[in-house]
Structure 1
Amino acid sequence: MKILPAGVLKPGYFIAALFFLNCLLIYPQSEKEDLPNVVFILADDVGYADLGIDGGTVPTPNIDSLARMGMRFTDAHSPAALCAPSRFSLLTGSYPYRNGRPGGSWDINNSSGFSANGDRTNAGRHVTVAEIMQNAGYKTAFFGKMHLGGIVYDTLGNVITQKNKINSMEYSRGVDDGLNEHGFDYWLGLLSGIQHEPYAYFENGNYKPIDPENPATNESTRLLKDGFYKVSGNGLSEIVEAARVPARGDEDYDSSQAGIILSNGAVDFIDRHIQENEENGSEKPFLLYYSSQAIHVPHSPPFDFDGDPETIDEQVYGKTGAMTSDVLYELDLQVGKIMDKLKDEGILENTLIIFTSDNGALWPRITHYGNASHDNNGPLRDYKASIYEGGHRVPFIAKWGDGTEKGSVIKPGSISDQTIVGHDWVATMYELTAQNMEEDQAKDSSSLLPILTGKQSENDSLHEFILYQAGFARDGAIREGDLVLMVDRENEATELYDLSNDLGQDNNLIEKPEFQETIKRLKAKFLKYNDHDNDTVEPRTTKAFSIK
């Protein structure tokens, strides 16, 4: 069944021409009518103040340069305060609860999060941003950590539906209902992230052994227990989640090499895409969705980012004095590698690059940075998985241009205080490619394009309100302006904060008489959009984008 958004225009000149006319006043190369390439970079567990540009002490020069050449948002939020639920939203533009899995599709004993239907009365599915870009003529690719579900089989051919059965997976069957079925022409990923089984890479649904000489079957796997493994000679691999039962993975699996493998894959994709364009005499743009493993545990940086154990050309391990900050430094190297490739191919200026994180900063108990003064969360309260600001306020940077005002769509060095959600980039792609949005798609996403291009005033809010979700959707909140009302799992309003004068959320206003009517109104609005106890379809929180 082919599902396309209403009003989709065919790839080619008509989309390009329409976009050109719409952006004529701000496009840096007015004679060039093609759409930009798009690179979306998703960091893992990078907090509000982790980056150098935000006051962090760990060197992140490449990411910082994106901010200096583009726009940095100070009030950006991940869709949830934990990775798996956010990852569904960042690909669909809808809050995590929309597919009936507010806690996310953590492991591959779940079907794809895009096929799951959270609206109950709606027989459709969730269209991904990759499908939107394909409709506009883009080549699409995904690299990295997934947590998006999928269908895998045991050695008897049965679908695995229980977490404790994953070790019985038949690797030669690969994974079905994967990203190829949801808009990506190519993908290379870790199905359950760097920290969960299967500890192996899958390419377009097929098991891809790290040693290309090995068969893509269970013969190339083994059971791994907690602890360190010296595999490649270029780092120490660590397994941290298999304490109770050994977990199956590639016999050559090495967590310290994940960033090298994934970033090399991204560069190779750009190479192949350019070669295909040359062979076909076309200028087809691409979408590259790069989902880094950094800086999630295990914090196991490689010795050398170039991957050669004989020489240290780009030191990572020991660079900053602690493994957590070494991996943050490595994340920056991954970003730099992709940027360098774009620059070398002469396409950096006409590539829209977006950088953000899947949730807030890591908890202090597991973060040991080389510099004791490094504060990964600044003034914010609490950390990853929390409903407080520290759980979900994250870096968000967008760059499009050559770093000069004349040659950039996004003004270099600009800062926006607009309240946005990471999945707003999905609606941005609808507008960028001039496609109408169906009412039941991207239900919580607003296009950032007017903000990025300076056409919308900072005083004109992008969202009337936004919703917050804690780690596993146990607690939530609604934010309207600077007021945040927290609602617990019993649907009781418990805390109210005014972020305009209390960013650290120290002063709970819930008992103040002057706020009682506001609390009642905000609670009713929150429950209207979070009522999972009945069979009604929760309404959109944003207006569906349509071509004017």
Structure 2
Amino acid sequence: MNKKRILSMAAIPLAGLTGMLNAATPKEKPNIILFMVDDMGWQDTSVPFGPEKTPFNRLYETPNMERLARQGVKFTNAYACSISSPTRVSLLTGMNAARHRVTNWTLNYNQSVDGKSDVLKYPEWNLNGMSPTQGVEHTCVATPLPQLLKDNGYYTIHCGKAHFGAISTPAADPENLGFQVNIAGHAAGGLASYLGEENYGNKKDGTKSSPFAVPGLEKYHGTDVFVTEALTREAIHALDSRDPRKPFFLYMAHYAVHIPINKDKRYYQKYLDKGMDPIEAAYAGLIEGMDKSLGDLMNYLEENKLTDNTIIIFMSDNGGLSAAGTGRGGDANTHNLPLKSGKGSAYEGGIREPMIVSWPGTTKKESVCEDYLIIEDFYPTILEMAQVKRVKTVQPVDGKSFIPLLTGKGKNPSLNRALYWNTPNNWGPTGPGIAATCAIRQGDWKLIYYYETGAKELFNLKDDLGEATNLALTNPEKVNELSTKLGKFLRKSGGQRPSFKATGKPAPWPDETF
């Protein structure tokens, strides 16, 4: 595994690729399972992604994540956006969030979810999400990843949380994005209930349910089947029903571990007995139920002799929920320690994710990769895994394939590269680093810029993983260097910025304040 330290260079978007699709026969292509967890923090697992085991790693029980890590490679520097919709749109388009402009979470058509501010006016972002077709206002138009896989012979299954487009837009239905099967996916990014006893939030009398009610699982209504278990059973049924002559792509996108923190009776008491408070015991149960789903899928592969030709990619969409008033137990902003803050934040607790890849015959077992990558990299990587060598896309692709990090062959895609984030919005909750921000990571250095105040924070993540010491005043040269790169990227990618209500003027770019 290549563990070279990462140098710096602005990420250069790839042009839309054109040409003939590859002619490999379906039997030569691997099956691919992308196992995406919602709101799972870097520490919400018994697998240590840091240099040593932590109290959280010793508290939670995820034996199947441990099993997957033994089979493949663990990524210690995997990044997403700090909020769900931006991450999921980057995943399906290969675009950085600054470019696709879906920079906050989506739900209702043409309705912004931005919180209030007395100082800033937030930009008109793409609040309707992504779209596979032109003509839908406030959307990012792109060629979706599952459509390309479907066009190249894959049987494509979506299971669980979608959250790609607002209600009534084409992308609210995963089948409009190239998925041949959609299980329980719709516009909402959360769920009303995990409980079958509560019909997953659907009303019994047929009247309108919450927009967060989980659709399509009526057979489990009135039962004691937790939604995580129901989704797993339906995913396995879809795999059993597929055309075995085709490779499959299963996007297993759990609603867990998003709020509400309902009790999964299979695990709840065990964590109470460990001394956890009731809310955190229930949260730990959400984690272990998710882990059981991973194990059930791995067992299915083994039982059906599919393991050797199936890639499993494990990832989370943003950092673990930790802000005050958002439903967690214990002390706010501590649930991802040693990482700072959590979901919605520009700090590491909001954007650094647990990631594991198992590719039998390719990845080295029990290996660790310290090179960094970001969520838009999944788009070209999965296409390369699927042997889709040349495609036509309507969007430029910012992501870089991380296949060399899996194989140890070829040029390291993380060398001479910087990673970028842009969130010119107000998520709503308050907490450290939760604000209208943009950020850059280059090698060990990370810069965060606050649009409202013009403040800049500089951290060396190698020496200060918890981002406790702001080095901006003592290292102005590095601040200026990163500010210049970040400002250049935001302009080039069409990034947005808020403006000041008092003057109507836009907030300065990070390289306009020194």
* TM-score (structure 2 length as normaliser): 0.73
Amino acid at match of 2:241: R
Residue 234 of structure 1 aligns with which residue?
none
Q: 1:464 & 1:143 partners in 2: Cα distance?
A: 33
Pairing 1:152-301 to 2, within 5 Å after superposition: 152=168, 178-193=173-188, 195-196=190-191, 220-221=206-207, 252=221, 257-273=226-242, 276-277=243-244, 283-301=245-263
For 2:204 and 2:287, locate their aligned partners in 1 and report how far apart those are by CA, in whole Å.
33
- Partner residue, 2:378: 425
Are positions 1:114 and 2:123 aligned together? Answer: no
Give 3-state SS (helix, strand or coil) of 1:319's partner. helix
Instruction: Indicate the residue corresponding to 2:448 in structure 1.
Output: 486
2:32 is matched with which residue? 38
Instruction: Name the residue aligned to 1:545.
Output: none
Cα distance change, pair 467–519 in 1 and its aligned pair in 2 (3 A): closer
Give the deviation of 1:263 after TM superposition. Answer: 0.8
1:521 aligns with 2:507: no
* 3-state SS of 1:353 partner: strand
Match of 1:396, SS state, is strand
Match of 1:94 in 2: 95
Instruction: Tell me, yes or no, if the aligned pair for 2:143 and 2:395 is still in contact at 8 Å.
Output: yes
CA distance in 1, matches of 2:371, 2:79: 11
Task: Assess, with a 3 A threshold, how the Cα gap between structure 1 residues 77 and 520 changes in structure 2: closer, same or farther.
Answer: closer
CA RMSD of aligned residues (A): 3.8
Deviates more, 1:286-295 or 1:501-510: 501-510
- What is the deviation of 1:264? 0.9
1:349 is the counterpart of 2:308: yes
Question: Match for residue 228 of structure 1?
Answer: none
Q: Compare 478-487 and 414-423 and name the one that shifted more.
A: 478-487
Q: Is the 8 A contact 2:90 2:96 kept in 1?
A: yes
Distance of 2:134 and 2:465 partners within structure 1:
36
Partner of 2:295: 336
| Per-residue CA distance 1:193-225 (angstroms, 9 max, x = gap) | 474569999xxxxxxx969xxxx999634557x
Unaligned runs of 5+ in 1: 18-32, 153-158, 160-174, 202-208, 225-238, 243-248, 278-282, 304-314, 402-407, 535-548
Deviation string 1:112-137 (CA, Å, 9 cap, x unpaired) is 523487999x9992111101211221
Distance in structure 1 (CA, Å) of the matches to 2:159 and 2:166? 16
Asked if 1 retains the 8 angstrom alpha-carbon contact of 2:74 and 2:367, the reply is: yes
The residue aligned with 2:8 is none
Say whether the 8 Å CA contact 2:440–2:482 is kept in structure 1: no
Distance in 1, Cα, partners of 2:453 & 2:380: 30
Aligned residues: 429
In the TM superposition, residue 419 of structure 1 has moved relative to its aligned partner by 1.0
Pick aligned residue for 1:70 from 69, 72, 96? 72
Inter-partner Cα distance in structure 1 for 2:490 and 2:99: 14
> Rg larger in 1 or in 2?
1
Aligned to 1:58: 60
8 Å CA contact 2:193, 2:262 repeated in 1: no
| TM-score, normalised via structure 1 length | 0.69
Q: What SS class does the counterpart of residue 28 from structure 2 fall into?
A: coil
> SS at the partner of 1:9?
coil
1:367 is aligned, of 328, 345, 353, to 328
- Of 384, 397, 400, the residue aligned with 2:359 is 400
Match of 2:9 in 1: none
After TM superposition, give the deviation of residue 35 of structure 1 in Å.
0.9
- CA 1:219–1:392 in structure 2 vs 1: closer, same or farther (change >3 Å)? same
Q: CA–CA distance in 2 between the matches of 1:255 and 1:95?
A: 40
CA contact (8 A) 1:15 1:136 kept: no
What's the CA shift string for 1:437-483, capped at 9, x where partnerless?
5575362211111111111476x625611112457482110122222
- Opposite residue 64 of structure 2, the aligned amino acid is N
Deviation track 1:338-375 (CA, whole Å, cap 9, x = no partner) reads 11111111101210000010101221754348xx9xx8
**Larger RCO, structure (CA 8 Å, separation 6 or more):** 2
Name the amino acid aligned to 2:70. Answer: R
| Secondary structure at the counterpart of residue 372 of structure 2 | strand
Deviates more, 1:331-340 or 1:519-528: 519-528
1:524 positional shift: 2.9
**Contact residue 46 and residue 361 of structure 1 kept, 8 A:** yes
Q: Distance in 2 between matches of 1:176 and 1:94?
A: 16
| Corresponding residue of 1:15 | 24
1:113 maps to amino acid: M
1:316 corresponds to 2:267: yes
From 362, 371, 382, give the equivalent of 1:409: 362
Amino acid paired to 1:148:
F
Mapped contact 2:163–2:187 kept (Cα < 8 A): yes
